[in-house]
Amino acid sequence: MKYFSLIVLLFCTLVFAQETAHLGYDIEIKLGTNTPPVLNNLSSLDYKISASLKLIEDIKIEVIATNGVVLNTKEAYKSVELLQPEIPFSNSISFRVNKSGQHKITIKVTGSVEGKRHTDRFDYFYFTTSENKNLNKIGWDTKMNEPLSVHYPTIKTEFKADENGFYHIAAADENLNMITKKLTQEQFDASTKGTIGTVTIQISYIMRNRQNDGAYAYKNSLMQLINGTTGAHLAWSYSDNQGKVIFPAIPHPGSDGVSIRVYSVRFIAGGLGYGVCNANVCVDNAASDPTMYSQFYTQTTSKINVLIGGNVNLGLASTPFSLTGSLRAMWIKHDMDDTQAYLEQNSTARGPFTAEWKSSSTIGNFYSLGGNIHFKADVADGTNHTVLHELGHNVMYNAGTFPTTPTDCPNPHYVQLISGTQCAWTEGWASAFANMVNDDPTRCFAPSTSNCISYEVDPSFDECFPDWDCGLDGHKVEGHVTGALWDLYDAQEDGLDINDYGSDEILSVTELSPYPAFLSWWSVWLAEGHPAQAANSLYQNAIKFTQSYDVEVFSITNTGNINPVVNEDFVLAVDVRNTGDVTSVTTPVALYRSLVPVFNGFEPVVLNHDYLQIEKNQMVTHDYILNENEVGTYYYRACYNDTFGLDENNVNDCSEVVSVTIAPLPEEMFIDGFE
C-alpha cells in the first residue's frame, strides 16, 4: 500500500458528552456574519480559508447561492496561488435576497497538495428570510414532512415467491417492530384480498440516490397508511428490502382516498432499531423505542384515489433528487440499512443506532457514547463514507469494546501521525468498518467525491518518510490501523498482504477484545486460534508486535555430480527453513561464487531463486543447476535477501561455504589406429 496523501483528523468535544474525534480535511473554512439577511437589503458573509497542515497550491474559491439570492459576481470567484499553514486567506461576499424562504450559500474551495493531489472542501451558510423581519433567522426550520411528489400508478408492485414457494412479506407487529411473515401461495393470496367493503393496498417506494444517477429503494422502513383527506391513521406496515409494502385490509376510504407516509426508521424487537431523527426533537436512542416514531423524518404522498375494492396496487412512488430537504436524511437511513444487513451477516453486534440530523446543521460529525450519532447537513451528500465511519464507532460501542474513559486523541490529530493508543484504534477501526461495509478501500470526505484516499494503494510501511510515522509506534497511527485491517479483509495479494480472512474474524475478535487497543485485538486474534501469519498484513502497514518470521539458509550441498568436468552440469541443493512465528512473504535466495574460500560481500550472483511463502517450521529445498567453463576450485554460498527488513534474525541468512572442483576434459583416446 503506497501513500502520498495527507488527510487531517480534527478532534471535536462538546460539554457533557464523550465523543470521538471526527475526520477533517486539508482545508479549513470558517464563516461568519453578525445578523440574519433581510429581504431586499444588501448583506455580507465573511469567510476565512486556512491550510490545515500542508502547503496548498492553485486555490480556487467559488461562492454558490440558491435561487432567490443574488451574489456580487465580482466576489463570487477568487483565485489564490498559494495557501500556507497558519496564514489564512480572508474575504467577504456581498449579496441581496429577493425572495422569501430558506436559502443556502455554499463556499467551495479546491486546490492541490504537493502539486499533484486534488483536495477540496465545502461549507455552508443557511438562513431564512421572510417579509416579516421577526422571522428572519440564521439556519432553517427543519421540515418533518415532505411529499413524495411523483407517483407512477402504472408501474406495479410485484412480490415473488422464493425457490420453495414461500412469500416473505414485511409487516409491523402490535408494537411497531418490523417482522417478516412467511406465507404460502394460498396465504399470500388471502392476505391481499379485501372482503366486501374493505381494501388491501400495495405500493413500492424508491428515491433518487445521492449521486443522482440512479435510485435507492426505501428499504425496511416504517410505513403508515393514512386517510388522504383527514390524515387519520388507517394501518401500519413495513417495506421490504426492495421497498415494496402491503398494508393490512382497511375499510374502503371512499372519496377520501389515501396517502402513504414513509418514516426514516426501522424498529426491531429488543430495542435494536435504527433511524434518522430530527435533531430539534430527538432523544437519545430514539430508534430503540417505537413510541418515538414521530421524532423521525417522514415523506408523504399526496392524496391517492382508491376507486375499487379488493387488492389495489398503487404502483410506484418516487422522491426526486434534492439537496435541500429531508431526502438527505433518507440517504443516511439507507446507509444504516446497509450497515444492519452487513452486521446481520457478519457479527453478533447490533444496534440501536440513532442519528440526529437536520438540513441546516453545521455541527461536526461525532458519536456521543451511549447516545446518538450527530451529523452535519452535508454528510449524506456525495459519499456514504463519513456516515459509515461514525456508525462504526456506534457498532464498536454496542460490541462493548469502545473506551468509556475520555479519548486520548490529541487535538488536532492526523491520519498519518502518531496519536493515542485508543484513538488510533477506534478511529482506524471505524474507517476500516466503512471500507468493509462498502467492500471498497476508498475513503472520501463528504460531500466530495474526489477528495479521497485508498487504503489499498496509499498508506504503506515503506512510504513513511516524510509524512507517515512508523517504527515501534505504528499501531498508534490511525491510517496504519485502517490499512492493516483492510489488508486482513481483502482478497487481493500485494506486497506483504498474502492472506484474507473476512469480516467474521475481524468483527468477532473486536467483540472479544477486552481493551480498546490494536495490541489487545491482536492478542485475542492469536488466542482464538486465528493464524499468526496475519501479522504480515500488519507489517504491510508498519505495525509490528511480537510475531515475525526467521528465514534460515540451513544448508548447501553438492549433490548428484560430485566431480564435474569443464562445462558439465552439477547441482547445489540449498535448504531454506522458517524458524519464526509467521509465514514468510517472499523468500529470494541468491547463489554467490568466489575463487577463494572467504566471502566479503562483493561476489557476483550466479543464480537467483524465490522460495516464495515458507510456513512456520517448514523447510524447502531448491536445486541450483550450474556449470563452469574453466578448470579450478570454486566456492559457493547461498544468502537470503530480506526484501522487507522483517526477518527477526539476519545472522543465519547465509549458508556455509561449499567448494566444487572442476576437472579438465579427458584426453581423446585412439584404439588400434581408429578413433
Compute how many other C-beta atoms are within 10 angstroms of the C-beta atom of residue 571.
14
Q: What's the pLDDT band for 4 if we cut at 50, 70, 90?
A: very low
Helix (H) or strand (E) holding 555: strand 551-559
Strand partners, 27: 51
- Check whether 621 has a pLDDT greater than 50: yes
Return the domain boundaries, the chain: 20-140, 147-333, 377-539, 551-662
Q: How far apart (Å, rounded) are the C-alpha atoms in residues 425 and 402?
A: 10
Sign (positive/negative) of CA torsion 511, 512, 514, 519? negative
pLDDT at 17: 31
Q: How far apart (Å, rounded) are the C-alpha atoms in residues 416 and 541?
A: 11
pLDDT at 231: 94
DSSP 673: T
Tell me what the mean pLDDT of segment 37-54 comes to: 90
Beta strand pairing call for 258-263 and 298-301: antiparallel
176 torsion bin: left (phi>0), alpha (psi -120 to 50), beta (else): left
Span of 77-81, 85-89, 531-535 with lowest mean pLDDT: 531-535
pLDDT at 412: 75
With 0-12 / 13-18 / 19 or more C-beta atoms within 10 angstroms meaning exposed / middle / buried, residue 578 is buried
Q: Which of 208, 197, 209, 206 is nearest to 250 (CA)?
A: 197
User: Where do runs of H (alpha helix) occur along 399-542?
Assistant: 421-438, 478-489, 503-512, 518-527, 535-539
- Using the CB atoms, write b or e for 305-323: b if 16+ within 10 Å: ebeebebbbbbbbbbeeeb
- Check whether 583 has a pLDDT greater than 70: yes
Kindly report whether the peptide bond that precedes residue 459 is cis, defined as omega within 30 degrees of 0.
Answer: no
Assign 45 to helix, strand or coil.
strand
Q: What does the chain come to in residues?
A: 675
Upper half-sphere CA count for residue 208 (Cβ side, 13 Å): 18
Counting DSSP H helices and E strands in the chain, the numbers are 8, 39
Q: How far apart (Å, rounded) are the C-alpha atoms in residues 415 and 467?
A: 10
Yes or no: say if 38 and 136 are a contact pair by the CB < 8 Å rule.
yes
Tell me what the mean pLDDT of segment 123-141 comes to: 88
pLDDT in tens, 209-234: 998 999 999 999 999 999 999 999 99
Yes or no: say if 277 and 298 are a contact pair by the CB < 8 Å rule.
no
Beta strand residue intervals within 304-445, DSSP E: 310-319, 353-357, 366-367, 373-374, 413-414, 442-444
The pLDDT > 70 percentage for the chain reads 91
Cα distances (Å, whole numbers) of residue 193 to 186, 314, 600:
11, 14, 91
The CATH class of the 551-662 domain is: mainly beta
Q: How far apart (Å, rounded) are the C-alpha atoms in residues 563 and 609?
A: 24
Assign 236 to helix, strand or coil.
strand
Q: Across all residues in the chain, what is the average pLDDT?
A: 86
Q: Which of 207, 206, 282 is nearest to 244 (CA)?
A: 206
Radius of gyration of the chain (CA): 33
Q: Which CATH architecture has domain 20-140?
A: Sandwich (2.60)
pLDDT at 464: 64
Same fold, 20-140 and 551-662: yes
Q: How far apart (Å, rounded) are the C-alpha atoms in residues 513 and 387?
A: 24
- Check whether 413 has a pLDDT greater than 90: no
Q: How far apart (Å, rounded) are the C-alpha atoms in residues 407 and 409?
A: 5
